[in-house]
A and B are shown apart, each in its own frame.
Chain A
Amino acid sequence: MIKLKGKSPRKKRLGLIFGAGYLVLLLLFAIFGPMIRNAQLSDVAKKVDPDIRVYNAVLDPVSSSPFAPAGGAATLGTDELRRDIVARLAEGARVSLTVGLSVQLIALLVGVTVGVLGVLAPKWIRNPLMRFTDGMFAFPDILLAILIVSVVGLGMGPVIFALSVTAWPSIARLVASQVATLKDREYVVAAKAAGASNFYLVTRHILPQITGILLAYSMIDLAGTILAESTLSFLGIGVQEPQPSWGGMINGARLNMNSYPVLLIWPCAVLSLTIFALNFVGDGLRALSDPRDRSA
């Protein structure tokens, strides 16, 4: 038999476990990393730089070179402004996860509403709504995000807004296609015949059926959102310095790339690993939520 899917279910389950494990570690790192860092900093360092939570300046303010070697007081060393790389990575993880999760939450709310309305609403609402969704879907995400950022402004809030606007159409299309097939299933028709309202049908009979697929899709889409956030920050039109972000760190590393490639390697590695992990988890969840895939 010809195998169409690239990975076997067993490999997918393994990917799911490793991906999920990495993501849990990342989440803990994002939550507790900056806190531990702050506790370790001496009072001297806090006096040198009062804005310590953002800057995370290093313990030794008298050394002539701002770059501390890895393994000392700063585990991975420091950057050109004496900022601890680990602490900045943790802050960057915070930014990426905050932006990513907020965007997915907003996109799910909007996307599910539009997707359901796009199938069940009266024709004069349904058709223009789905045409509009298709139009938004066809447009390149990053171009749309840049367009919105150019109107709304720079910073974390605008990034969340811009990426939410680009993220909902694909969810709406997914929900619409699922609802369209589910609404004619016998159990739904039976409930309808028994006098159930549309709202009851959707919330009790249709949406519970698609939560698995939606969750899997959101995970993969979360990778796209984090990537887009990093891209905007890399271009300098996303999260603004001194707020650390992975994209901003990669951009900042170019100045001293030749002598201090570590500044480049760590944010690149963490970002790429996160993207891979999210894709693995999404793939694994999809395999779990699709019974055909599970039995294969």
Chain B
Amino acid sequence: MQLARALSTRFLLGLLSLLFISFVTFLADEIQPGDAATVLAGEKASAETIARLRENLGLNRPWPIRYVEFVSKAVRGDFGTSYYGVKEPVGQLVGRNVTMTITIASSAILLASAIGIFLGTLAAVWQNKPPDQGILFISTFGVTLPNFVLAPILAYFFALQWDVLPLTWSVDRVAPDYYYLILPVVVLAMRPTALLTRLTRASMVETLRQEFIRTAIAKGVPPFRLYVKHALRNAILPVITAIGTSFGFLLTGSFVVETYFLLPGLGSTTIDAIRKGDVPVVQACVMLTGAIFIVLNLFVDLILPILDPRIRESQV
């Protein structure tokens, strides 16, 4: 019962933060000069035309009413049309780009989980020995090195010097699509890989010190079985939480990678729209990104009690 209450509190808090984000994004339109009317009317329009248009669009009503309308439309995925280009409906434009972000984020998290758990386990098994120290040293770099430093360095070697991978995404691609996504995914995966390695190591070290492990060694469990079946199964829970939150950060933090490799994704669309001042697109992107992050964190909270009976039985 307590669990259900804790989860519903989280859900309400999530909704509250989404409302907060929606209010700030709504403010974006209020603060910046010009609105939908001035953009629709074009540059040469007279003051009267703009005023009439504003009245038709309902832009002269007080802001609380327009905010409620903004939210109710946003819930249905209607953010109006882009200010630029062919004035495409924003929902359609963002929907087209979100697939790319999900693709690279999921590939990156799979890669990071596989390498991170593997290296972390190895480091814990060889605790304080050279392999462990080596892995920890590299993972320190992985955590501190920024994406926009790693991306140009990898691009320089793999795309320019050795010419084995394409430099950026382009409309006329000559190789299969996944070929273009290797570098972005690797760059995106670096930080979560390092974090998961360190976390797996810490959790495994902790588990290996417990008594049931000593018992298992005493009764002669073979090493592989001991480390994987006995230790890793117990040590993996905090790692799973971290995979969930890292996935959230990847889905909402691919701005740099997408911008650098010119991938048509949610992040690059957001940045592009901010630079151009395309307010409806910015609003849609920010709302969607925030929603993804909040929903994913809720999901992590939900999945933990399912995986671990200890959490299920005690309170959260």
Binding site for B on A (CB under 8 A): 2-4, 6, 131, 135, 138-140, 142-143, 146-154, 223, 227, 230-231, 234-237, 247, 250-251, 253-254, 257-258, 261, 264, 268, 271-272, 275-276, 279
Partner of A257, one of B21, B160, B270, B290: B160
Most buried by B among A235, A236, A275: A235
Q: Are A235 and B156 in contact (CB under 8 A)?
A: no
A254-B152 contact in complex given A138-B297, A143-B253, A237-B271, C-beta closer than 8 Å = yes
A139-B17 contact in complex given A146-B274, A268-B152, C-beta closer than 8 Å = yes
Per the bound structure, the CA–CA distance linking A235 and B258 in Å amounts to 10
Per the bound structure, the CA–CA distance linking A237 and B144 in Å amounts to 22
Within 8 A of A (CB), among B135-184: 136, 144-149, 152-153, 155-156, 160
Q: Are A271 and B149 in contact (CB under 8 A)?
A: yes
- Nearest-CB residue, chain A, relative to B279: A150
A268-B274 contact in complex given A146-B255, A261-B156, C-beta closer than 8 Å = no
Partner of B148, one of A146, A153, A250: A250
> Chain B residues with Cβ under 8 A from A147's Cβ?
21, 24-25, 286, 290
Per the bound structure, the CA–CA distance linking A138 and B249 in Å amounts to 11
Q: Are A143 and B148 in contact (CB under 8 A)?
A: no
Tell me if B275 is interfacial: C-beta within 8 Å of chain A: yes
Tell me if B102 is interfacial: C-beta within 8 Å of chain A: no
Per the bound structure, the CA–CA distance linking A234 and B148 in Å amounts to 8
CB distance from B300 to the nearest CB of A (A): 11
Q: Are A150 and B17 in contact (CB under 8 A)?
A: no
Q: Are B31 and A152 in contact (CB under 8 A)?
A: yes
CB distance from A127 to the nearest CB of B (A): 13
Tell me if B289 is interfacial: C-beta within 8 Å of chain A: yes
Tell me if B259 is interfacial: C-beta within 8 Å of chain A: yes
> Chain A residues with Cβ under 8 A from B253's Cβ?
140, 142-143
Contact-residue size bin, chain B (C-beta under 8 Å from the other chain): 35 or more
> Chain B residues with Cβ under 8 A from A271's Cβ?
146, 149
Q: Are A140 and B252 in contact (CB under 8 A)?
A: yes
Seed contacts A223-B144, A261-B156, A276-B144; 7 additional CB < 8 Å A-B pairs = A147-B290, A237-B271, A237-B275, A258-B156, A258-B160, A271-B146, A272-B146
Q: Are B275 and A236 in contact (CB under 8 A)?
A: yes
> Chain B residues with Cβ under 8 A from A2's Cβ?
127-128, 205, 209
Per the bound structure, the CA–CA distance linking A60 and B155 in Å amounts to 32
Q: Are B249 and A140 in contact (CB under 8 A)?
A: yes
Q: Are A237 and B293 in contact (CB under 8 A)?
A: no
CB distance from A116 to the nearest CB of B (A): 24
> Chain B residues with Cβ under 8 A from A131's Cβ?
13
> Chain A residues with Cβ under 8 A from B256's Cβ?
231, 234-235
CB distance from B204 to the nearest CB of A (A): 13
Tell me if B248 is interfacial: C-beta within 8 Å of chain A: yes
Per the bound structure, the CA–CA distance linking A275 and B282 in Å amounts to 31
> Chain B residues with Cβ under 8 A from A140's Cβ?
248-249, 252-253, 293
CB distance from B22 to the nearest CB of A (A): 11
Q: Are B28 and A150 in contact (CB under 8 A)?
A: yes
> Chain A residues with Cβ under 8 A from B270's Cβ?
146, 150
CB distance from A279 to the nearest CB of B (A): 6
Give 10 CB contacts A-B under 8 Å. Answer: A2-B205, A138-B297, A146-B274, A150-B25, A230-B148, A235-B255, A247-B148, A250-B152, A254-B260, A276-B144
CB distance from A144 to the nearest CB of B (A): 9
Within 8 A of A (CB), among B254-288: 255-256, 259-260, 270-271, 274-275, 282, 286
Q: Are A268 and B27 in contact (CB under 8 A)?
A: no
Per the bound structure, the CA–CA distance linking A135 and B20 in Å amounts to 10
Per the bound structure, the CA–CA distance linking A268 and B149 in Å amounts to 6
> Chain A residues with Cβ under 8 A from B248's Cβ?
140
Q: Are A135 and B17 in contact (CB under 8 A)?
A: yes
CB distance from A175 to the nearest CB of B (A): 22
Per the bound structure, the CA–CA distance linking A279 and B146 in Å amounts to 14
Q: Are B13 and A135 in contact (CB under 8 A)?
A: yes
- Nearest-CB residue, chain A, relative to B270: A146
Q: Are A3 and B128 in contact (CB under 8 A)?
A: yes
> Chain A residues with Cβ under 8 A from B274's Cβ?
146, 149-150, 154, 237
> Chain A residues with Cβ under 8 A from B290's Cβ?
139, 143, 147
A143-B293 contact in complex given A2-B127, A258-B160, C-beta closer than 8 Å = yes
> Chain B residues with Cβ under 8 A from A154's Cβ?
274-275
CB distance from A124 to the nearest CB of B (A): 18
